[in-house]
Amino acid sequence: MAILKHCSVEIFMNRFYAGFSPDPDLANFVEASFILSAHANIATKYLPCTVSFTMTVDKGHTNTAFVGDEAINGKKPPQAKTIDPNMYTLEIQEKKPGLETEYDPYQHRHVEHPTTNNETLIHLLKGSLGTGILAMPNAFHHAGWTVGVVGTLLIGLLCTYCIHLLIKAEHELCKRKRVPSLNYPAVTQTALLEGPDALKPLSKVIIHIVNVFLLIYQLGTCCVYVVFVSSNIKAIADYYTETDTDVRLYMLIILLPLILINWVRNLKFLAPFSTIANFVTLVSFGIILYYIFREPISFEDRDKVGTMSGFALFFGTVLFALEAIGVILPLENEMKTPKKFGGNFGVLNKAMILIVTLYVGMGFFGYLNYGSAIKGSITLNLPEGEILAQCVKGMLAFAIYITHGLACYVAIDITWNDYLKKNLGDSPRSVFYEYIARTVLVLITCTYKDLFSTKRSYSSNAFRLITVLLAVAIPNLELFISLFGALCLSALGIAFPALIQTCTYWHHRQGMAKVWMVTKNSIIGVIAILGLVIGTSTSMIEIIHTFGHDD
């Protein structure tokens, strides 16, 4: 028998009186009081166990009630002790092996429409195989083909590793907090509360910082999607009609069906769209590769190593292309078998191997074929007058279009579940308001603004930098892709996962294991900060320079 010293529980004495009879309800009340009052580590160590409490009102008069395994089985209870009046003393017996199992978050998840491993793989592939891959040849042009190949492989490895850090930390925090799942902002906040004391005050604001990064990235991605689709439709229509229609008209045409796609509330129902889009995208890539290899590949006049500023643009572009950090936790949380997401042969590694291979191939061979003539999107280098090339533009526009809902899923989830829904409470019209929120977010991504001009002040240009992110001009797609990647994904995809792991295991690793963890994650953090600062500033300078000659 182990006695819990210095942890007596004072329980509203006016609720009890001398001579009461032990009963289950009272016992349950005391057990609950003990669990809430005792230190969490002690409760974890001893419960479930036999709990006895003793109340003394007059000297020599005691009453004892029992809770637990021994009381139920009729075994002799522990001896009651006379104690100071108005105080309960809890005596506990150490838990028996096997009575309590470790909390498994996966077993406590109740997803209404869970996704299979293959459906999750399809979602993850589609989340990464977007407009970014079409800008990879241009990224290789900035970095050089040697640096491009090696850099893409290393960045892909780093991104995959950081995603694993995030997934493992989320699972560990869920076990500690005994909750089924956590989203990205909640993981970051919970990790900081588990970390060094100096970082705990930041836990209140970090959740909003993460949400801002996620919203900028996801809405920015949706903006790229909208303009990509509209511009490709315009290119096809203008060629055959011999007109020059404003691209905003095509944005208006696709707006209504785009809203309807974003009204789909469950990831499982988006899986068919991803399946169709993946098939169409792969066929389109095959046709693009046909055009690439139709002419002999040449290394002549192809740079092996680019400039430093070019590498900064390359870094942001590859991050944007490879990372799908915004949908990682939602996809894992919606799985029927989430244990299969990580691991050496899990869904994540399978997807990333395919994604990195495709990106290296597209970037390498696309750059070797077109050289310095490569444009922001490789589709713009395809022959305008050939039907097959027009089909590629149409198919890619269709593929990107029908997966807009997946790209916008995280932005909708943050806006609705983390902010708007809380203020509405249990309103009977909450579903109606959710559809309004989804519609407004789609309208935001379809907003179109004027671009930069050097004739305007720098403060005006800074404001226009924010507004222009809502509608991207396709000929300069690579600049905005690089900006989104450097600004948002350096933090979300690299820095935050390293910070989360450090805080999660700060008090759980000792000695060299802790030194190694802190050193490794510090290096990762430095890489992320350099990528964010240099990549963002380089992209902004290039954007201002490019658009400064428009007026």
Q: Over the stretch 482-535, which tens digit does the pLDDT of each residue have?
A: 877 888 889 999 999 999 999 999 999 999 999 999 999 999 999 999 999 988
Residues 6+ apart with CB under 8 A from 172: 504, 505
**Whether 90 contacts 52, CB under 8 Å:** yes
Q: pLDDT-derived band of residue 270, with 50, 70 and 90 as boundaries?
A: confident
Q: What pLDDT band is residue 446 in, cutting at 50, 70 and 90?
A: low
pLDDT at 434: 79
Q: Which of 21-25, 117-121, 145-149, 370-374 has the highest mean pLDDT?
A: 145-149
Q: What pLDDT was estimated at residue 467?
A: 34
Written as six digits, the tokens of 393 are 């533009």
Computed from CA positions of residues 172, 268, 279, 231, in that sequence, does the dihedral angle turn out positive or negative?
Answer: negative
Mark residue 242 as left, alpha or beta (left: phi above 0; alpha: psi -120 to 50; beta: remaining): left
Mean pLDDT (whole number) for 534-542: 84
Q: Tell me, rounded to whole angstroms, the distance of Cα 219 from its chain centroid.
A: 14
Least confident interval from 421-435, 444-458, 500-514, 524-538: 444-458
Single-letter residue type at 462: A
- Whether omega for the bond prior to residue 48 falls within 30 degrees of 0, making it cis, is yes
CB 323 within 8 A of CB 128: yes
| pLDDT score of 319 | 87
Q: Out of 9-18, 118-127, 220-229, pick the least confident.
A: 9-18
Alpha-carbon distance values, 238 to 245, 247, 321, 531 (Å) = 7, 10, 29, 39
Residues 39, 482: Cα–Cα separation, whole Å: 50
Bridge partners (DSSP) of residue 9 are 88
- Least confident among 179-188, 319-328, 362-371, 540-549: 540-549
DSSP state of 420: I
The upper half-sphere exposure of residue 323, i.e. CA atoms within 13 Å in the direction of its Cβ, equals 33
- The pairs formed by 518-522 with CB atoms below 8 angstroms and a separation of 24 or more are 522/498
Tell me the Cα Rg of the chain.
29
pLDDT of residue 240: 85
Query: What is residue 547's predicted lDDT score, i.e. its pLDDT?
Result: 61
Whether the per-residue pLDDT at 223 is higher than 90: the answer is: no
Q: What integer is the mean pLDDT of 394-423?
A: 80
Residue 163, classed as helix, strand or coil, is: helix
Q: Give the confidence band of 445 by pLDDT, cuts at 50, 70, 90.
A: low
Per-residue pLDDT, averaged over 48-60, amounts to: 41
List the strands of the sheet with 89-92, edge to edge: 2-3, 89-92, 51-56, 62-67
Q: What contacts 25, CB < 8 A, 6 or more positions away?
A: none
| Angstrom distance (rounded) from CA 447 to CA 470 | 6
Q: Which of 466, 317, 334 is nearest to 413 (CA)?
A: 334
Options 1.10.3470, 3.30.1360, 1.10.357, 1.10.4160; CATH of 105-547: 1.10.4160
Q: Is 313:482 a contact under the CB 8 Å cutoff?
A: yes
Provide the pLDDT for residue 8: 37
Q: Is 294 exposed, middle or buried (0-12, 13-18, 19+ CB in 10 A)?
A: exposed
pLDDT over threshold 80, residue 167: yes
Over residues 308-352, the pLDDT tens digits come to 888 988 998 898 888 777 778 888 888 888 989 988 889 999 999
pLDDT score recorded for residue 323: 77
Domain ranges of the chain: 2-92, 105-547
Give bridge partners of residue 91 from the DSSP assignment.
Answer: 3, 52
Task: Count the Cβ atoms, other than its own, within 10 Å of residue 293.
Answer: 11
Query: What gap in Å lies between CA 121 and CA 117, rounded to an integer?
Result: 6
| Per-range mean pLDDT, top range of 16-20, 275-279, 412-416, 497-501 | 497-501
pLDDT at residue 159, as a whole number: 93
Report the length, in residues, of the chain.
Answer: 551
- Taking the C-alpha atoms of residue 142 and residue 157, their distance in angstroms, rounded to an integer, is 21
Q: Mean pLDDT over residues 415-430, rounded?
A: 76
Inform me whether the pLDDT recorded for 357 exceeds 90: yes
Quote the tokens at residue 435.
Answer: 């559809």
- pTM of the shown model: 0.70
- The 10 Å Cβ neighbour count of residue 379 is 23
**Segment 465-474 mean pLDDT:** 39
- Ramachandran region of residue 425, left (φ > 0), alpha (ψ -120 to 50) or beta? left
Q: Is the pLDDT of residue 58 over 70?
A: no
Triad 340, 344, 349: Cα angle to 5°: 80
Around Cβ 237, how many Cβ atoms within 10 Å?
14
Per-residue pLDDT at 246? 76
Whole-Å CA distances, 289 to 77, 129, 264, 284, 453: 78, 15, 34, 9, 37
* Cα separation, 314 vs 306, whole angstroms: 10
Structure confidence at residue 42 (pLDDT) = 38
- The two tokens of residue 112 are 């209404």
Q: How many CB atoms sit inside 10 A of residue 44's CB?
A: 12
Taking the C-alpha atoms of residue 417 and residue 432, their distance in angstroms, rounded to an integer, is 14
pLDDT band at 549 (very low <50, low <70, confident <90, very high): low
**Which are the contacts of 209, defined by CB distance < 8 A and separation ≥ 6?**
none
Checking if the pLDDT of 131 tops 50, the result is yes
- Mean of the per-residue pLDDT values of the chain: 75
For the segment 466-483, the average pLDDT, to the nearest whole number, is 53
- Whether 161 and 352 have beta carbons less than 8 Å apart is answered as no
Q: pLDDT grade, residue 253 (50/70/90)?
A: confident
Residue 276 burial (CB < 10 Å; 0-12/13-18/19+)? Answer: middle
Residue 148: per-residue pLDDT: 94
pLDDT at 515: 96
